[in-house]
Structures are given as structure tokens and as C-alpha cells.
């Protein structure tokens, strides 16, 4: 049982700490947020973390005032935070480091006010021992709760995602377990960015289709729009345009049946890097060649060696020649339009085209499709 001197010392410490409570909470919250990982980046997650910090500081203050033997059970907010962390995929060691960091910072505040009050004897040592013991107790409870949450069976969303993955992989799975018409005509969509799933879901009514939606990550959505008859991929893309450039959105082409369901998804996935680069919704049919080029390492490497590397050997690293060639391609190979776009003379354009031809070592006209592909790939990978 604590003696009168110890009780008085605890009262002094608590009395000096309470006016600084807002500072204590803010300092610990800032340090916790600075550690690697985020328990929940979705709406409301920040407020929940702040509430957890406040509850934990309350627990520390009770320890300072009453001693380790008299503190109540672990706050419910702390246990809920452990469950949320497990479900959000936060590593348990990151979660535990947050509590260790919070304990260390609270101890610093205690030593600071104790120094100001001249309480540097056995009473201060006992308070710090109590805080350390309570921190150990808290870490054990958080770890146990985290493990319990991880041991829970997967949610219905997780089971749905697993079924979808297996179907995409071609496994012989009973598709009737998924509430979706796989024999219909499908348009696949892949969206990347904040609120991607919510954004895709919002257009369901405007395109009058059934939808299958799963979220393999917090920022990526896979969706399929289905109709028993015709479905317009352009209409789906147009409806999704409203969410660009906040999202990268790629739309596959209309395909029928289970195999078509897989194919339209693969088309959307292949087109996603181009959507990310352009910051706009794109259809696979619009970027099919470039999407395939991105995935073909042999072809993309060969195009670079054949066309871009020679251009880089010029005085300015090929900057002006590449700029002229891009403008020339954009102008449908019209020299006058190219000159106007670049603000130079026709003669300058012609001289640059001839220089590019000499550098590459072959006539430009028959090489234009491959050269355009090489320049498009370069733009995609450097922006």
C-alpha cells in the first residue's frame, strides 16, 4: 500500500500533468502517426486513432495517480484498435511499437514535471516502474487481441474475392456461389485510386447493368458489368470519365460467357498502366497495341535499341529529334502542321526528319508504325 508521501507525490505529478493533457495527447498522436503503417486510411480512421490515444493516455494518468495495482482493465478502445489493425493488415510489431513509443513519451513528460516539482526520489522511480508494468500488461492484451482477430474466419467479402480469383485462374469452381450472371455479356473494369470501389458502384444505375465488384486492395477495384443482351463499353467508359483524373480507370471490351468474363478483365488489367499515365478512363480497344507492347519485354527492348538509343547519340540527347517526330506523327505526317505546332520553319522540320533518318539508318516512312510505338512506350515509362 502506498504511503502518504507517495500519494502526495502522485497527486503533485498528476496535478502538473493535467493542464498539459492536450499537449500530451497531441505529442503522442503525432509520434504514433509517424511510425510506419496505417491502421485505417479510410474515412474515420484518423478519429478512431486519436480516440485510442486519448483512452491510452487516460489509462496512463490513472496509473500515475493510483499505482499499477489499482488501475482498471485495459480500455475497450485499445482492444478495438488491435482488431482494426489486424483486419487492415497492419503488422503486429508496428502496432506494438506504437504503444511502446507512446509509453516512452508519457514517461518523458512525467520526468519533466517531476524535475520542475523537485520530485526526483523514490516516488518518481515507483511511478515510472508502474507505468512500465502497465505498458507490459497493455502490450500483452493488444497482442492477444490482434491474434484473436487474425484467427477469425474470413469475411464474406474475403470469401467472394477468393472465389473470383480462383475463377479467373480457371479453377473448376461452382460459379453459382457468386450472385452474378456469368453467361451474360460482360464489360470488365479495373480502377485504381481512393474510393475506387465506391466510384465504380455509383455508375451501376446509369448503365442499367448488374455488377460484380471485388476489392483486392484498399485502392483497387475489379468490376464486371453484365447484361443479358448488348452492353456498350463506351457507355461504361463515359460514365466512369467523371471520376478521372482522381482514379486510373481501364475498361475491357464486351465479351460473353465465363471465358469472356475472364478475357474482358485481362483486357482492363492490361490497359490500366496507360490509364494511370493519361489520368483518364481508357478502353482496351483504344490502347490494345500499346498495352501489349508494355507487357512484351523482347519487343519493347528491341524497339528502344532500334529507334531511341540511336536518337540519344545526337548532341542534345535526341530531345529535338524526338520532339519533332512526335509532332510529325501527331500531325499525320504533315510537315506544315508540324512546323506550326513546333513554331519553326518547314525547312527546320525537314532537316530534323532527315537527321533522324540518318541517325536511325533507315528511311522513316516504312518505319513510322514501329517508331511511333517506341516513342509512345517511352512517354508511358518516363511520365
Per DSSP, 19 falls in state: G
Residues of the chain whose pLDDT is less than 70? Answer: 1-5, 36-47, 152-155, 205, 381-383
Quote the CA–CA distance of 361 and 359 in Å, as a whole number: 5
Q: What is the pLDDT of residue 155?
A: 66
> 201-247, pLDDT tens digit by residue?
888 767 778 889 999 888 899 999 988 777 888 888 888 887 877 88
Q: What is the pLDDT of residue 41?
A: 42
**DSSP per residue over 64-98, as a string?**
HHH-GGG--SPPHHHHHHHHHHHHHT--HHHHHHH
Q: What is the pLDDT of residue 42?
A: 40
Quote the CA–CA distance of 66 and 69 in Å, as a whole number: 8
Domains of the chain: 4-151 (1.10.490), 159-293 (3.30.70.2730), 296-382 (1.10.10)
Q: What is the pLDDT of residue 149?
A: 78
For the record, the C-alpha cell of 194 comes out as: 481512393
Q: What is the pLDDT of residue 43?
A: 35
Q: What is the pLDDT of residue 264?
A: 94
* In contact, 145 and 83? CB cutoff 8 Å: yes
Q: What is the pLDDT of residue 45?
A: 52
Angstrom CA distances, 227 to 76, 121, 188, 255, stand at 47, 77, 12, 11
Angstrom CA distances, 301 to 276, 291, 309, 318, 362, stand at 21, 15, 10, 18, 19
* In contact, 363 and 349? CB cutoff 8 Å: no
For the record, the C-alpha cell of 287 comes out as: 490502347
Quote the CA–CA distance of 250 and 288 in Å, as a whole number: 11
Q: What is the pLDDT of residue 383?
A: 56
Q: What is the pLDDT of residue 186?
A: 92
> 47-64, pLDDT tens digit by residue?
678 888 999 999 999 998
Helix (H) or strand (E) holding 190: strand 185-192
Amino acid at each position: 500500500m502506498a504511503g502518504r508521501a507517495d500519494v502526495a507525490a502522485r497527486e503533485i505529478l498528476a496535478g502538473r500533468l493535467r493542464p498539459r493533457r492536450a499537449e500530451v495527447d497531441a505529442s503522442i498522436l503525432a509520434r504514433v502517426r509517424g511510425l510506419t503503417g496505417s491502421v485505417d486510411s479510410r474515412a474515420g480512421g484518423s478519429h478512431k486513432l486519436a480516440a485510442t490515444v486519448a483512452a491510452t493516455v487516460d489509462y496512463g494518468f490513472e496509473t500515475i495517480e493510483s499505482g499499477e495495482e489499482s488501475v482498471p482493465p485495459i480500455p475497450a478502445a485499445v482492444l478495438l484498435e488491435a482488431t482494426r489493425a489486424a483486419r487492415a493488415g497492419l503488422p503486429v510489431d508496428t502496432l506494438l511499437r506504437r504503444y511502446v513509443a507512446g509509453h516512452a513519451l508519457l514517461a518523458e513528460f512525467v520526468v519533466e514535471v517531476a524535475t520542475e516539482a523537485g520530485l526526483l526520489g523514490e516516488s518518481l522511480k515507483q511511478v515510472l516502474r508502474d507505468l512500465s508494468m502497465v505498458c507490459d500488461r497493455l502490450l500483452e492484451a493488444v497482442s492477444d487481441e490482434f491474434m484473436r482477430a487474425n484467427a477469425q474466419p474470413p469475411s464474406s467479402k474475403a470469401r467472394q474475392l477468393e472465389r473470383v480469383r480462383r475463377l479467373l485462374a480457371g479453377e473448376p469452381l461452382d460459379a453459382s456461389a457468386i450472385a452474378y450472371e456469368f453467361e451474360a455479356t460482360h464489360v470488365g473494369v479495373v480502377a485504381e485510386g481512393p474510393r475506387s470501389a465506391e466510384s465504380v458502384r455509383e455508375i451501376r444505375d446509369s448503365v442499367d447493368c448488374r455488377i460484380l465488384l471485388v476489392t483486392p486492395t484498399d485502392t483497387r477495384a475489379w468490376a464486371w458489368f453484365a447484361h443479358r443482351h448488348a452492353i456498350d463499353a463506351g457507355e461504361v467508359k463515359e460514365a466512369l470519365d467523371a471520376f478521372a483524373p482522381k482514379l486510373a480507370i481501364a475498361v475491357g471490351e464486351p465479351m460473353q460467357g465465363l471465358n469472356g468474363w475472364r478475357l474482358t478483365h485481362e483486357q482492363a488489367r492490361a490497359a490500366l498502366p496507360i490509364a494511370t499515365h493519361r489520368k483518364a478512363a481508357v478502353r482496351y480497344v483504344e490502347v490494345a497495341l500499346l498495352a501489349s507492347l508494355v507487357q512484351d519485354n523482347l519487343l519493347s527492348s528491341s524497339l528502344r535499341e532500334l529507334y531511341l538509343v540511336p536518337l540519344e547519340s545526337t548532341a542534345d540527347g535526341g530531345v529535338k529529334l524526338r520532339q519533332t517526330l512526335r509532332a510529325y506523327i501527331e500531325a499525320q505526317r504533315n510537315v506544315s502542321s508540324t512546323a506550326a505546332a513546333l513554331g519553326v520553319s518547314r525547312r527546320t522540320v525537314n532537316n530534323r526528319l532527315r537527321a533522324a533518318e540518318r541517325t536511325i539508318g533507315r528511311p522513316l516512312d516504312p518505319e513510322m508504325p514501329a517508331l511511333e510505338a517506341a516513342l509512345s512506350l517511352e512517354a508511358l515509362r518516363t511520365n
